[in-house]
Every structure is written in structure tokens, then in C-alpha cells.
A and B are shown apart, each in its own frame.
Chain A
Amino acid sequence: MFQYYLKLSLKSLRRNPILSALMVTAIALGIGACMTILTVNYVMSSDPIPHKSDKLFYVQLDSWDPYQPAREPNDPPDQITWTDATNLMQEKAAFRQAAMASSNGVIEPADQDSKPYLASMRLTYSDFFSMFDVPFLYGSAWDAAADEQEQLVAVISKATNDRNFGGENSVGQTLRVAGENFRIVGVVDDWQPVPRFYDVTTGAFDDTEEVYLPLALKMPLELPSSGNVNCWKEPDGDGFIAFLQSECVNYQMWVELPSDADKQRYMDFLDNYANQQKALGRFPRPLNNKLSDVMQWMEYNNVVNDDAEVMLWLSFMFLAVCLLNTIGLLLAKFSTKASEIGLRRAVGASRGDLFRQHLVETAMIGLAGGLAGLGLAWLGLRGIEAIFGEFVSKMVHMDTNMIIVALALALVSSILAGLYPTWRACNIAPAGQLKSQ
């Protein structure tokens, strides 16, 4: 019977093409608006490293002002100090660990015809690459010895490699950055976690960096700080070193802890470390250290902000309005079929038969609306990209999951919208329709 219902539905849609087109358009508009916003929210809230997001932990140490918390109600600061970053790295208490900071420096291309340009940099440790599964096009990460010996080594992005070396394997070659010659040890392939979870302090949807250098070089090369720097008291003195050794926070710290026991051990380690620092006159607040896994850290930082959630609800309300319109149109459509429904009842169709037939018809309308809605969603996402530019380009792509969600949403919502008109149609008194045709 399903095939028969499909055939009847197609005929019915062709019988009132304008009414059918209006219904498909109403559903398409609702689905299009909904899916546009839903896609942005979905990408913003997706797990950027699903296979190990529950094993990667962001470290927060409460080194803040004794008289007020870094963040209400009683949260530690979002970043840690240089002192703490280097101390924690020296201890090597986790399976993998990487302190990091954003920076920038001028790249002087070897090609004399190319102008120097300012590049974004991430200063970090060798574990960064293995911990976050960074893919390599050429070479690999630097090793732990390079961190310890403050070697002038660099990993560069694919774009940087394309720009400076024409896309050739540049491993072993020299790149002049921030006035120093660095030996390239690896070229990162296309890599753009969304959100860029490892540093959400400067923007969860920013591009990954163009150059990666050992954080240990920050002090000897006096590499500048970028990103957010927050201080609860003035540095003790002037100059780069004094600032570096101050209580200002500018560094992120991630650790990889494969098991719950590892996590507990690391937490104990952090508390012991904080107590040691207290003994040295630091950490004036009560113990308040935190470990957050990737998704907890995204949520804590409101990566999906409130505006986006409000927009999502508004888009669902718009879908509801479109569905209400669809209900009206379906009522009109089914009322024109009253005599046919009466006839079918007379020749033996039960209410159940007619209910199923008309549900198939509304599902077909929903499916058509869903497909058209996908097209509108694509246009909507391109519109968002055109308005907000590169900033949102990583958020405006629909994947297979979202396409399935769009079609399912269209199907379910159209069937829901069709329930009342279908119920009405099935309860048409046949006798009244057969005489009056």
C-alpha cells in the first residue's frame, strides 16, 4: 500500500501545484532558517577532538588576588603565570603536557623579492603536537631535547610553507623569524580544530598559527606576548624579565591524563604545588585548582554564546510559525479532497487507511520542503559568511549529520503539522460528500 500511497500523493501534489508549492516553501523557509542557525551552533559546540577530549585537561591554578576571585563566584584565572607554566613543565607530572602562549613575529622570506610580514606564532612544547594529534605534511615535531636546550627549531603551517618555500618540503631549511634563523623540523598539514579549543582566550574560532616555536625561547629571545594578559598586581620592577616573572597570567596549560587515577594523581600534584607556592609567599587564596576536560572547558568559556542560543530558539519559533501556516494550507488542501475522501470511505477505506495515505502525502511535502530548506540553509550560511567574513568561515559548513538532521526535522515537523489536517480529513462524513459532489 505504501507505493500506492506514494503514487496518490504525487498525483495530489500535482493536482494543486500552487498550494503544494506554498506548503513546500513554508516548510523550506522554516527549515532553512532553523538549519542555518543550528549549523552554526552545532559547529560551535562540536567536540573538536572527540577520540580523546575526555583525556585532555586544561589546568587552572588559583594564584589570584586574596581579596577577590579572578572570576565570580570563586573561580581561578583562565590562564597561568610564566613561573607556574615553567615549574609545571619541569615536573613532567602528566603523561603529556604542554604550556603555551600566543605570540607574533616578523618572518623575513629568503626570497629577496618577498616582503617581510607579521606572522602569528604559538610558543609551546614538543608534546603539543602529539597531544593534539597535529597532522604533519613533512617532518615532525621537535623533540623534548630541543625544549630543554632552547634550540632554534620551528614547525610551520602549510600556508607558511607554501608562501616561503613554494609548497616544497622545507624540513631542514632555515626560516628567519623574529630576527633569528630557525631550522624547520616539520610542516603541519591542513589543521583547523573547530572550535580552536587549545586556546579559547583569544577567540575560539581563530585560525591556527602560522609558526610554532619552543616556549623556552620566549625569555632568551624576548618574544612578545599576545592574547589576553591579566594581572592582579603590578610586576616587581620594569623590563621584560620582571614582567615575565610577575603574577600576570598569559599562559595556557594542557595535560593528557589517560585514566581517572592519572587525573586524581595530577590533581594531588597541583594541590601540592600550590601548597609549596603558598610556603614561598604566593597563592594567597585557599586551594582552588581545577582540571577541565575539553568539552567542560568549552562550556566554561561559553564558546556557544548566549546570543547564538537565543538565535537558535528564535529560529525554532520561526519554524513553528511556518508549520502553523502549513497546517492552514493542508486544511485547505484536504478540504478540496473531501469528495474523494468520502468516496474512498464508501468503497471500503478505513480511517486508518486514509490516515496513512495522508501522512505519506504530508511526509512527501516535508521531504520536498526539507530539500528546498537545505538549499536555503546553504544560502543562509553563505550570507552569514558574506556579512561576517573569514571570522565565521569555519562555522558555516554543513556536514552529513546536519543534512540528515535537516531532512529528519523537515519530515517530523511536517508530519506533526499534518496530524490535525489529516485527522480532520479522516473524520469527514462520507455520506455528506457523496451526494454533494
Chain B
Amino acid sequence: MLTMTDIKKVFRTDVVETHALRDFNLQVDEGEFVAVTGPSGSGKTTFLNIAGLLETFDGGIYQLDGEDVSHFNDKQRSRMRNEKIGFIFQSFNLIPDLDLFDNVDVPLRYRGFNSAERKRRIEQSLETVGLANRMKHLPAQLSGGQQQRVAIARALAGEPRFLLADEPTGNLDSQMATSVMELLKSINDTGTTIIMVTHDPQLAAEAKRNIQVRDGRVSEVDNVMPLKAATA
């Protein structure tokens, strides 16, 4: 479902070249919950950005859901992100002056759904994260954990095949982190593939599969759970 073969990514400035990813190889199958760990600067976030088509790469082949996305133009990448990928960020990235309804609505607007379909999806995804009764609240009126739940609802509203989460509990206390992690696991149980970057080994241990990134390469793979969720 997600296959990266010999992916390379180099960041260049006038004086220095940084090889963020080198010969990065990874396959993620449908329904997996993959935790990506590694020290700071190892290339975890770069991998996630490339996986989410937020960044281009300098070499290798990347196939997503059966399509080689290496030569996708901006419009094709945008459509792929919109239809197949949901993002969850460490700092939630909610738009402060939009209420929860409108925040969850953002990706749906670019999908071309009519207003009834958008409303149905927004209500359903907010229901899933337990915030259906707070649709008209602004993000600032919620706790951090609730804000992250809204971000998850936004990611879910488009019914994506992938969820990419970058330190989703990094800004939360342990109680809220546990709650968000439980939510992610329940989403994975419905068949959505999740790739989560985290520093927290305890959190990573809760994923079905762990990979470690070091010096821009996948250096260690364990807990491989082939296709279990896909058949669930």
C-alpha cells in the first residue's frame, strides 16, 4: 500500500548539504499501525512529509496505493492528500477563528462535496471523537486533548486510507495522551492505516509495528504485523 524504495532526500544550503534520507526503504501494508521512532534529526519527520506528499524527494521510487507518485504535479499531489491521507500534527494546527464545524470542514471544501454531505461527515467525525456537542466552539475554548481530537476528526472526515501522525501526543499530558492513543487504536481497528512518528517508546510499543529511523535509513524493524487489520 505504501512502498518506498531507495528514497533520497537532501536539504541544501549555500554551505552545507544534509542527507535527511538515504536509501530509505519501507513497505507499509493496509491496516497496519506503524510507529516510527528515532533520535532527533534522524529523518522521521522528513519521511512523514514525503509519505504525506508534503515534500518532494531527490531519488528513489514512492508508490502510494498502487500509484507511482514520484512525478505527480501539484494538483495531483493535492488531490491525493485530500482523498487518501489524513494528517494529525503535534500542535493540532487548528484555525483559531473557525469553530470546530468549520475546522473539520476545511479538507471537505476542497473535495467538492455538497453541503449536506459535508455536514453529515463533519457531524459523524466529531461524534467519533466525542465532541459532537461542541461544534460551535472555537479551538481556544477547548483543552489540548480536545483540540487534538478535533484535529483527528478533521483527518477522519475525508475518510482517508492513511493517517499520518507526527508526535500526536507531544503537546499533551499523559492522561490526554493515553486518551488520544486509544482513539487512534480504535480508528486503526476500523481498517485505517496509521503511521505515527513519536519520541515516546511507551507510545510506540502500543503500535502493531515499530520501525526505527537512524541517519536517514530504516535501521531496525520489529513487531511486524502483516495485514492483520486488513482482514479484520
The chain A residues found within 8 Å of chain B, CB to CB, are 1, 4, 11, 14-15, 339-340, 342-353, 429-431, 434-435, 437
Complex Cα distance A353/B79, Å?
Answer: 11
Sample of 15 A–B contacts (CB below 8 Å): A343-B95, A343-B106, A346-B93, A347-B81, A347-B87, A347-B107, A348-B158, A349-B82, A350-B75, A352-B75, A434-B93, A434-B166, A435-B45, A435-B166, A437-B89
Task: Give the nearest-CB partner of B49 in chain A.
Answer: A431
Complex Cα distance A429/B56, Å?
Answer: 10
Is the Cβ of A347 less than 8 Å from the Cβ of B106? yes
B52 an interface residue at 8 Å Cβ cutoff? yes
Q: Within the complex, what minimum Cβ distance (angstroms) separates A348 from chain B?
A: 2
Interface residues of B in 146-170 (CB under 8 A from A): 154, 158, 166
Task: Give the nearest-CB partner of A352 in chain B.
Answer: B75
Task: Give the nearest-CB partner of A340 in chain B.
Answer: B95
User: Which residues of chain A are within 8 angstroms of B19 by Cβ–Cβ distance?
Assistant: none
Complex Cα distance A345/B53, Å?
Answer: 10
- Contact flag A431-B74 (CB < 8 Å), given A347-B110, A437-B93: no
Is the Cβ of B55 less than 8 Å from the Cβ of A429? yes
User: Which residues of chain A are within 8 angstroms of B107 by Cβ–Cβ distance?
Assistant: 347-348
B97 an interface residue at 8 Å Cβ cutoff? yes
Residue of B49, B55, B111 most packed against chain A (CB within 10 A): B49
Is the Cβ of B97 less than 8 Å from the Cβ of A15? yes
Is the Cβ of B54 less than 8 Å from the Cβ of A431? yes
CB-contact partner of A435 in B75, B78, B79, B90, under 8 A: B90
Is the Cβ of A339 less than 8 Å from the Cβ of B98? no
Is the Cβ of A343 less than 8 Å from the Cβ of B93? yes
User: Which residues of chain A are within 8 angstroms of B106 by Cβ–Cβ distance?
Assistant: 343-344, 347
User: Which residues of chain A are within 8 angstroms of B81 by Cβ–Cβ distance?
Assistant: 346-348
Complex Cα distance A396/B170, Å?
Answer: 65
B91 an interface residue at 8 Å Cβ cutoff? yes
Q: Within the complex, what minimum Cβ distance (angstroms) separates B107 from chain A?
A: 4
B109 an interface residue at 8 Å Cβ cutoff? yes
Is the Cβ of A431 less than 8 Å from the Cβ of B55? yes
Interface residues of B in 2-28 (CB under 8 A from A): none
Contact with A along B28-42 (1 / 0, CB 8 A): 000000000000000
B83 an interface residue at 8 Å Cβ cutoff? yes
CB-contact partner of B91 in A14, A340, A350, A437, under 8 A: A437
Q: Within the complex, what minimum Cβ distance (angstroms) separates A201 from chain B?
A: 64
User: Which residues of chain A are within 8 angstroms of B158 by Cβ–Cβ distance?
Assistant: 347-348
8 tightest CB-CB pairs across the interface, nearest first? A348-B82, A347-B107, A350-B78, A431-B49, A348-B110, A431-B54, A437-B91, A343-B93
CB-contact partner of A347 in B45, B98, B154, under 8 A: B154
Q: Within the complex, what minimum Cβ distance (angstroms) separates A17 from chain B?
A: 12
User: Which residues of chain A are within 8 angstroms of B45 by Cβ–Cβ distance?
Assistant: 431, 435
Task: Give the nearest-CB partner of B151 in chain A.
Answer: A343
Is the Cβ of B97 less than 8 Å from the Cβ of A348? no
Is the Cβ of B95 less than 8 Å from the Cβ of A349? no
User: Which residues of chain A are within 8 angstroms of B87 by Cβ–Cβ distance?
Assistant: 346-347, 434
Q: Within the complex, what minimum Cβ distance (angstroms) separates B44 from chain A?
A: 11
User: Which residues of chain A are within 8 angstroms of B49 by Cβ–Cβ distance?
Assistant: 431
User: Which residues of chain B are within 8 angstroms of A343 by Cβ–Cβ distance?
Assistant: 93, 95, 106
Q: Within the complex, what minimum Cβ distance (angstroms) separates A50 from chain B?
A: 49
- Contact flag A434-B89 (CB < 8 Å), given A11-B98, A353-B110: yes
Contact with A along B85-119 (1 / 0, CB 8 A): 00101110101011000000011011100000000
Q: Within the complex, what minimum Cβ distance (angstroms) separates A220 from chain B?
A: 84
Complex Cα distance A4/B109, Å?
Answer: 8
Complex Cα distance A234/B106, Å?
Answer: 88
User: Which residues of chain A are within 8 angstroms of B97 by Cβ–Cβ distance?
Assistant: 11, 14-15
Is the Cβ of A345 less than 8 Å from the Cβ of B93? no
Complex Cα distance A346/B77, Å?
Answer: 10
Residue of A1, A339, A345, A347 most packed against chain B (CB within 10 A): A347
Q: Within the complex, what minimum Cβ distance (angstroms) separates A420 from chain B?
A: 19
Complex Cα distance A388/B106, Å?
Answer: 57
Is the Cβ of A349 less than 8 Å from the Cβ of B110? yes
Complex Cα distance A4/B118, Å?
Answer: 13
Task: Give the nearest-CB partner of A347 in chain B.
Answer: B107
User: Which residues of chain A are within 8 angstroms of B95 by Cβ–Cβ distance?
Assistant: 340, 343
User: Which residues of chain B are within 8 angstroms of A352 by Cβ–Cβ distance?
Assistant: 75
User: Which residues of chain B are within 8 angstroms of A353 by Cβ–Cβ distance?
Assistant: 78, 110
User: Which residues of chain B are within 8 angstroms of A430 by Cβ–Cβ distance?
Assistant: 54
User: Which residues of chain A are within 8 angstroms of B74 by Cβ–Cβ distance?
Assistant: 350-351
Task: Give the nearest-CB partner of B92 in chain A.
Answer: A437
Q: A343-B95, A347-B106, A348-B111 are in contact. List 6 more A-B contacts (CB 8 A).
A: A1-B109, A348-B107, A349-B82, A349-B110, A429-B55, A435-B45
Q: Within the complex, what minimum Cβ distance (angstroms) separates B38 from chain A?
A: 15
User: Which residues of chain B are within 8 angstroms of A346 by Cβ–Cβ distance?
Assistant: 52, 54, 81, 87, 93
Is the Cβ of B78 less than 8 Å from the Cβ of A345? yes
Complex Cα distance A348/B90, Å?
Answer: 19
User: Which residues of chain A are within 8 angstroms of B166 by Cβ–Cβ distance?
Assistant: 434-435
Is the Cβ of B78 less than 8 Å from the Cβ of A348? yes
User: Which residues of chain B are within 8 angstroms of A15 by Cβ–Cβ distance?
Assistant: 97
Complex Cα distance A349/B45, Å?
Answer: 21
Task: Give the nearest-CB partner of A1 in chain B.
Answer: B109
Is the Cβ of B82 less than 8 Å from the Cβ of A347? yes
User: Which residues of chain B are within 8 angstroms of A350 by Cβ–Cβ distance?
Assistant: 74-75, 78-79, 110
Q: Within the complex, what minimum Cβ distance (angstroms) separates B145 from chain A?
A: 17
Q: Within the complex, what minimum Cβ distance (angstroms) separates B17 from chain A?
A: 18
Q: Within the complex, what minimum Cβ distance (angstroms) separates B41 from chain A?
A: 13
Q: Within the complex, what minimum Cβ distance (angstroms) separates A339 from chain B?
A: 7
User: Which residues of chain B are within 8 angstroms of A351 by Cβ–Cβ distance?
Assistant: 74, 78
CB-contact partner of A434 in B54, B78, B109, under 8 A: B54
Is the Cβ of B83 less than 8 Å from the Cβ of A348? yes
Task: Give the nearest-CB partner of B93 in chain A.
Answer: A343
Task: Give the nearest-CB partner of B91 in chain A.
Answer: A437
Is the Cβ of A435 less than 8 Å from the Cβ of B89? yes
Residue of A4, A15, A346, A351 most packed against chain B (CB within 10 A): A346
